């Protein structure tokens, strides 16, 4: 989960990394109140999850009330790089003597964290990476022993800077981070301040992080939908398999009665993406992307199914994935069946299921009985049927459903 800058600063503060005094505002009234706590000039920053705000006009030093009000009026509630601005941070302007760059990330190839440092920071760090990559120093970190003073000594002899680096590593470890970046890291007198803070948390560490509070973020925007929030709770409450940790809801067409599209319940890593691609390739619209994997209980899949099918404007549902080796197909599809029956109002759109693996035969027999007794339009395909073929059938049935229900196709 990406954090807003002000959330990142709050986490850095927990290990003693300081930043200029700031106030976060949500409206113009709060901006007026903040002026009593911060002296001009003030650094005003829009709070969004995308980067390079400075080069897009989202960061500005304002010298008086008129400039501050104009900046806030320009951005509050407006779109900034595809995201609505809900917060603006007002900060004291630090007297910066030198701008540096520091970050800790994770190398997915070597499977170790690494530290990056550069004597040049700020908005032009991207240019440094392109034109003078040799200026950026890298230290691979042993995740067991951490970053050593000997390794830090290769970067700096400044004890205060060395202390800052040690604290940054403390943040990365203690709070289950995937990425921590301070840019610029500013030298102000004898001190080092985090002028900006970019932090990405590992979602898998949420259950351990009781001491930090962050605003829930959506999958494709900073504002999560109710279904995204509810889906993410499923795995947090039950460790057996995965169902709901990944749930992305896509915008529908508000002008179409069935503009939400086709609900997706996918399974099996890369096959999940193949399901999405296959539906889109046939001209279908996916309402969401979610995945259940491992060997989740029927109860978890039931919850995920209820959440997925609670969306209005659906014109179909596709349950598909790779042929499983260890997933109990009967268990997971029983969960789907229970969620389907519980869905309100009753589902009348077509359902295509393409699954294969342990206890598939029992699962399909159960679903056939459900379709007959419950009046559901369920179409079953085993592992011998390519996902692309099942997806084509799904889109065809969905279009037919819309014509029969609404008199026209999208």
Q: In the listed set 145, 174, 208, which residue is the last one of a domain according to the structure?
A: 208
Is residue 2, in this structure, part of any structural domain at all? no
264: CATH: 3.40.50.261
Same domain, 300 and 341: yes
**Model confidence pLDDT, tens digit, residues 283-298:** 999 999 999 988 899 9
**Model confidence pLDDT, tens digit, residues 106-144:** 998 899 999 999 998 876 776 777 777 888 999 999 999
User: How far is it, in rounded angstroms, from Cα 134 to Cα 118?
Assistant: 9
Residue 219 is predicted with a pLDDT of: 55
Is residue 215, in this structure, part of any structural domain at all? no
Q: Which residues pair with 351 in a beta bridge?
A: 317, 378
Query: How do beta strands 87-92 and 22-25 pair?
Result: antiparallel
Is residue 235, in this structure, part of any structural domain at all? yes
**Model confidence pLDDT, tens digit, residues 71-82:** 999 999 998 887
**Which residue, among 311, 314, 312, 306, has the nearest Cα to 336 in the 3D structure?**
306
Is residue 390, in this structure, part of any structural domain at all? yes
Q: In the listed set 92, 124, 142, which residue is the last one of a domain according to the structure?
A: 92
Same domain, 107 and 172: yes
With a cut of 60, say whether residue 17 has pLDDT above it: yes
Least confident residue range of 159-163, 325-329, 340-344, 382-386? 325-329
Is residue 10, in this structure, part of any structural domain at all? no
Residues 6 or more apart whose Cβ sits within 8 Å of residue 2: 49, 198, 199, 200, 217
Same domain, 261 and 371: yes
Q: In the listed set 48, 70, 92, which residue is the last one of a domain according to the structure?
A: 92
Same domain, 159 and 291: no
Same domain, 231 and 173: no
Residue 222 is predicted with a pLDDT of: 60
pTM higher than the cut 0.75: no
Distances (CA, A) of 248 to 3, 37, 333: 18, 40, 21
Q: Which residues pair with 136 in a beta bridge?
A: 118
Percent of the chain with pLDDT over 70: 97
Same domain, 202 and 344: no
Same domain, 257 and 159: no
Instruction: Supply the range of the domain harboring residue 27.
Output: 21-92
Residue 92: Cβ within 10 Å count: 17
Same domain, 86 and 119: no
Is residue 9, in this structure, part of any structural domain at all? no
Residue 318: what are its φ and ψ, rounded to 5°?
Answer: -120, 125
Is residue 214, in this structure, part of any structural domain at all? no
Please tell me the number of Cα atoms within 13 Å of 395 on its side-chain side.
18
Same domain, 177 and 235: no
Same domain, 103 and 84: no
Same domain, 174 and 247: no
User: How far is it, in rounded angstroms, from Cα 188 to Cα 95?
Assistant: 6
Distances (CA, A) of 143 to 12, 104, 106: 20, 12, 10
Is residue 284, in this structure, part of any structural domain at all? yes
47: CATH: 3.30.1490.20
Residue 306: what are its φ and ψ, rounded to 5°?
Answer: -60, -45
Residue 392: what are its φ and ψ, rounded to 5°?
Answer: -60, -45
What average pLDDT does the segment 343-365 reach? Answer: 96
**Model confidence pLDDT, tens digit, residues 153-167:** 989 999 999 999 999
Same domain, 244 and 171: no
Structural domain tally of the chain?
A: 3
195: CATH: 3.30.470.20
With a cut of 90, say whether residue 405 has pLDDT above it: no
Residue 45 is predicted with a pLDDT of: 97
């Amino acid at each position: 989960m990406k954090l807003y800058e002000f959330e990142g600063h709050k986490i850095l503060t927990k290990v003693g990394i300081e930043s200029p005094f700031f106030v976060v505002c949500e409206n113009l009234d709060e901006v007026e109140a903040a002026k009593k706590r911060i002296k001009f000039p003030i650094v005003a920053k829009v709070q969004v999850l995308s980067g390079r705000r400075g080069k897009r006009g989202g960061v500005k030093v304002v010298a008086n009330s008129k400039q501050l009000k104009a900046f806030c009026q320009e951005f509050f509630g407006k779109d900034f790089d595809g995201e609505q601005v809900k917060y603006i941070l007002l900060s004291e302007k630090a007297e910066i003597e030198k701008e540096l760059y520091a970050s800790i990330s994770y190398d997915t190839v070597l499977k170790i964290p690494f530290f990056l440092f550069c004597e040049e920071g700020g908005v032009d760090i991207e240019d440094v990476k392109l034109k003078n990559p040799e200026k950026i120093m890298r230290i691979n970190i042993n995740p067991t022993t951490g970053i050593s003073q000997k390794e830090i000594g290769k970067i700096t002899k400044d004890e205060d800077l060395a202390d800052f680096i040690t604290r940054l590593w403390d943040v990365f470890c203690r709070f289950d981070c995937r990425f921590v970046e301070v840019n610029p890291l500013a030298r102000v007198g004898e001190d080092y301040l985090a002028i900006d803070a970019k932090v990405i948390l590992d979602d898998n560490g949420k259950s351990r992080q009781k001491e930090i509070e962050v605003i829930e973020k959506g999958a494709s925007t900073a504002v999560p939908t109710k279904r995204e929030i509810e889906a993410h709770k499923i795995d947090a409450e039950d460790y057996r398999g995965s169902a709901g940790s990944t749930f992305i809801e896509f915008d529908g067409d508000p002008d179409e009665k069935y503009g939400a599209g086709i609900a997706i319940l996918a399974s099996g890593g890369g096959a999940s993406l193949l399901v999405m691609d296959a539906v889109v390739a046939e001209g279908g619209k996916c309402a969401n992307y979610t995945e259940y994997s491992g060997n989740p209980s029927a109860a978890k899949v039931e919850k995920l199914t209820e959440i997925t099918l609670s969306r209005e404007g659906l014109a179909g549902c596709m349950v598909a994935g790779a042929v499983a080796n260890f997933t109990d197909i009967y268990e997971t599809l029983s969960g789907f069946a229970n969620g389907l029956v519980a869905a309100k109002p009753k589902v009348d759109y077509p359902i295509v299921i393409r699954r294969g693996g342990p206890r598939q035969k029992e699962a399909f027999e159960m679903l056939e009985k459900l379709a007959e007794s419950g009046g559901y339009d369920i179409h079953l395909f085993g592992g011998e049927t390519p996902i692309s073929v099942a997806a084509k059938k799904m889109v065809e049935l969905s279009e037919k459903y819309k014509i029969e229900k609404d008199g026209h196709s999208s």
